[in-house]
Structures are given as C-alpha cells and as structure tokens.
C-alpha cells in the first residue's frame, strides 16, 4: 500500500501529491512544506511496487521520450501495471473527499486516475518527461494505451513544447529551486572541501561508507566537469565518457547521482552503472584517474549536501542526456552561478538561453561536447559572466513562491483547474 510521507491534515487533505520514490521526491520535499506555510493544506503519498512494476514504468517513460520501441508495449505488461496499482488506488480513494485535488506525478501513478476521479476529487496528471512534437511513435503509443486514464483527469501539467494529447487541457510546468533544501543551502569553501573529503572524493577513503568510486582522489587544483543525473539509459553516460580523452590532462569528470542500489523505483540504474564501469575499465590508466563516480547516499540531508558540494566544486556543469525531463539539476546549478553545457535535446533545451547561461552541444557527438567544454574551461571570465547571468535567470524563472502560487490557484475551492500557463491546443 502507499506510504504517507506527509500525512493529511485534520479535516481531510485539500491537495494530495502522489508519486513514486525517485527524482520527483526532490521537488516535493521542498514544495509541500512551502505550500503548507502559504496556507494550502497539502499531503504526500508514495506508491509501492515490485521491480517488474517499476521496470514497466521506466519503459513507459522512455516511450514518452520516444526512445523505446512501441512494439514491446504488450497487453500483459499493461495488465501487470494496472493490477499493481488497483489496490493502491482503492486505499487512496478511501482517504479522499470530493473537495480534494490530487496531483499524480509521472507515469508510475497515472493508472490511479480513474479510481481517484471516481471519488469526486479533481485529478491532475503532472507529466515530467516528454518529447517534442514530431517525435510521435512512442508518445502516441502512451496516449493510445492510457486513453481511459487520461479521460478521467481534469488537466495535464507538462513542459512547454512536450507532445501531449489534445485533451484534457494542458498547462506549462516549470520546476522551482528550494533554497532551504540541503541541495541548495549556502556552503563555504571550507564546508565544500570537508564534505568532499569525508565522502572520499578529494581524499583517499576505503570501506563501505564511501560514496565514491575512483582510481584516485580528485586533485585540489583540477578543473572539474560535473554531470548530475540518475543512472538512466537516457542520460547518455557511457557515451559521455568518450569526450574525456579530448579534454586537457588537468580536467576531471565527476558523474554524480543517487546510489542505484538504494533506488528501487529506477531498476535500470544498476545496469547503466555496470555499463559505465565497463567503459572506465577499458580506458587508459591516465584517463581512469580522471573519472570519479559519486553514488550519493539516500538519506537526507547527506545526499543533498553531497550533491550540493560537488556542484559548488565544479567549474562547468554538463548535462548531455539524449532526452530529459524538466528536472531540477539545471536550475539548481544556475542558482549556484555555474556555467552550463547542455545537450540540445527535448527538456534540457527549454531550461536556459545559450547566450545567457551556457553553451549547447550535440550529445551524440563527443567532439562537439568536448569543444563546448573547452571554450568554458579555458575562459574563466566567460564562465563567471555566464554563471552570474544564470543565477539571475534562476531567481526569476525558478523561484519556489511562483510554483506555490501556481498550485494555490489550482487547489482553491471551486476554482476552475489552472496550473501554470495554459498552452493553446
């Protein structure tokens, strides 16, 4: 059954978020307390599921990115998905009243929609991944197979430009940076150095407590390129390693993300991590010394503080996924005044203006990625100027009060559904 991470307030919940464990949780950990402080009663339930269930959800997400074969979408797989959610939908429905607004986050929860809408509650599906219009095979398969669920929701919240069904009404979704999160707290240089040393990144450390895999510690004077993402097939991590030999010898690459062994909602993570390890093992010893894997521990604040520290240690943030949702990594790096090299890919390309905050590169071309990185690495004044503009942009585009206000409008009693900026059909 689902687990309440934030229990409903007395008298019943007005706004109920439902998610799986994983990346969306980083957004909700800050959003829900801010909503409560702003006067919107909010709660949060997390669904459960087997490895097979989350593997199906992950495949559906890749379909929505148009990065999977629709022919593999079988009736048996969809039946297992719906059977796993049916008792959880009944459990959640018993905790709702007709005045509630339920926000279902991502494809793992979409199957709950019919039962929850049947209580009289308003339901919005918050679709974090997506593909640009024209990339239609995968998305079309999702819309077709989930037409029964989509017909019961009041609205779909998604990123501008993502493909989406013609109904119900659709709204732009933009994430927000929580300044009180461990991922975003101000850190002094001494605190950054201490966190990196204690976790083994900049100081040799052995034993099971280490969150880092590396051939040697990160040198104090090294220039650092950082990639933060889950260990996901769409993150393009094995291919990304091919750009490292094209960079100067003092440049080190840090790949950071949650420990996949502790993230059951993302079962592909261990497979991708094994692929990354195999690529590193095939490198020259000189290049192996320049690669550092950070497997951030799951409990907060440890995980958030470590990711915060590696972002502040980085000279350039690189996000080179072949497709990506509209996540938090980019705006959080912008808020920390980091210049960016981003893949020219769905999702990522919407989060910044190249002339203001960084450079774009073809994520499938290692030479293009390396060239963009070298431009920023070799020009500290350019990096600082881009970082300053990135911080200013993040303060206006990705402020948490703006997202709180979006949800307040949606959750207001008897208000017409409205989340973000309506997108014309």
The H or E element containing residue 313 is helix 302-313
The structural domains of the chain, with segments of one domain joined by +, span: 3-176+399-411, 189-397
Check if the beta carbon of residue 152 is closer than 8 Å to that of residue 113: yes
Could you tell me what percent of the chain has a pLDDT over 70? 85
The rounded distance, in Å, linking the Cα atoms of 220 and 286 is 17
In terms of Cβ atoms closer than 10 Å to its own Cβ (0-12, 13-18, 19+), residue 176 is buried
Distance set, CA 403 to CA 60, 291, 406, 408, 419 (Å): 27, 36, 5, 9, 9
Position 166 scores a pLDDT of: 66
Return the pLDDT at 418. Answer: 46
pLDDT tens digits, 193-252: 999 999 999 987 644 456 899 999 999 999 999 999 888 888 888 888 999 999 999 999
Question: Could you give the CA distance from residue 243 to residue 259 in angstroms, rounded to a whole number?
Answer: 24
pLDDT given at position 308: 95
Q: Do domains 3-176+399-411 and 189-397 have the same CATH topology?
A: yes
pLDDT tens digits along 104-122: 998 999 999 999 999 999 9
| pLDDT of res. 329 | 86
The per-residue pLDDT for range 152-194, each reduced to its tens digit, is: 998 888 776 666 676 567 676 678 899 999 999 999 999 999 9
Q: How confident is the model at residue 416 (pLDDT cuts 50, 70, 90)?
A: very low
CATH topology of domain 189-397: Rossmann fold (3.40.50)
Angle at 150 between CA 148 and CA 155, to 5 degrees: 155
CATH of domain 3-176+399-411: 3.40.50.2000
pLDDT at 424: 35
Residue scoring higher pLDDT (77 or 262): 77
* pLDDT for the residue numbered 345: 64
């Amino acid at each position: 059954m689902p687990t309440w991470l934030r229990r409903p307030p007395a008298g019943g919940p007005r706004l109920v978020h439902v998610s799986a464990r994983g990346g969306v949780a980083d957004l909700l950990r800050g959003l829900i307390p801010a909503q409560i402080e702003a006067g919107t009663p909010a709660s949060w339930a997390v669904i459960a599921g087997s490895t097979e269930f989350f593997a199906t959800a992950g495949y559906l997400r890749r379909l929505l990115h148009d990065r999977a074969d629709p022919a593999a979408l079988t009736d048996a797989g969809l039946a297992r998905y719906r059977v796993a959610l049916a008792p959880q939908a009944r459990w959640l429905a018993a905790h709702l009243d007709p005045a509630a607004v339920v926000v279902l986050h991502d494809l793992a929860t979409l199957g709950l929609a019919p039962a929850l809408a049947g209580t009289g509650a308003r339901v919005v599906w918050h679709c974090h991944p997506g593909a640009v219009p024209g990339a239609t095979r995968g998305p079309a398969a999702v819309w077709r197979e989930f037409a029964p669920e989509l017909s019961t929701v009041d609205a779909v919240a998604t990123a501008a430009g993502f493909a989406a069904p013609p109904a119900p009404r659709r709204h732009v979704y933009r994430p927000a940076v929580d300044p009180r999160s461990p991922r975003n707290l101000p850190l002094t240089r001494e605190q950054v150095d201490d966190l990196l040393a204690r976790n083994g990144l900049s100081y040799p450390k052995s034993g099971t407590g280490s969150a880092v895999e590396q051939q040697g510690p990160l040198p104090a004077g090294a220039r650092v390129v950082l990639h933060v993402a889950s260990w996901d097939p769409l993150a393009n991590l094995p291919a990304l390693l091919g750009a490292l030999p094209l960079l100067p010898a003092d440049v080190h690459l840090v790949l950071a993300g949650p420990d996949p062994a502790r993230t059951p909602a993302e079962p592909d993570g261990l497979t991708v991590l094994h692929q990354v390890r195999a690529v590193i093992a095939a490198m020259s010893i000189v290049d192996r010394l320049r690669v550092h894997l950070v497997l951030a521990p799951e409990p907060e604040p440890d995980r958030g503080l470590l990711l915060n520290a590696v972002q502040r240690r980085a000279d350039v943030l690189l996000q080179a996924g072949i497709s990506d949702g509209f996540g938090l990594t980019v705006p959080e790096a912008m808020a920390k005044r980091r210049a960016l090299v981003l893949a020219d890919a769905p999702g990522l390309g919407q989060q910044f203006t190249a002339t203001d905050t960084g450079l774009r590169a073809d994520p499938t071309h290692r030479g293009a990625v390396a060239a963009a990185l070298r431009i920023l690495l070799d020009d500290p004044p350019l990096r600082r100027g881009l970082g300053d503009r990135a911080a200013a942009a993040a303060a206006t585009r990705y402020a948490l009060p703006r997202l709180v206000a979006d949800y307040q409008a949606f959750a207001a009693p008897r208000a017409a559904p409205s989340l973000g900026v309506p997108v014309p059909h």
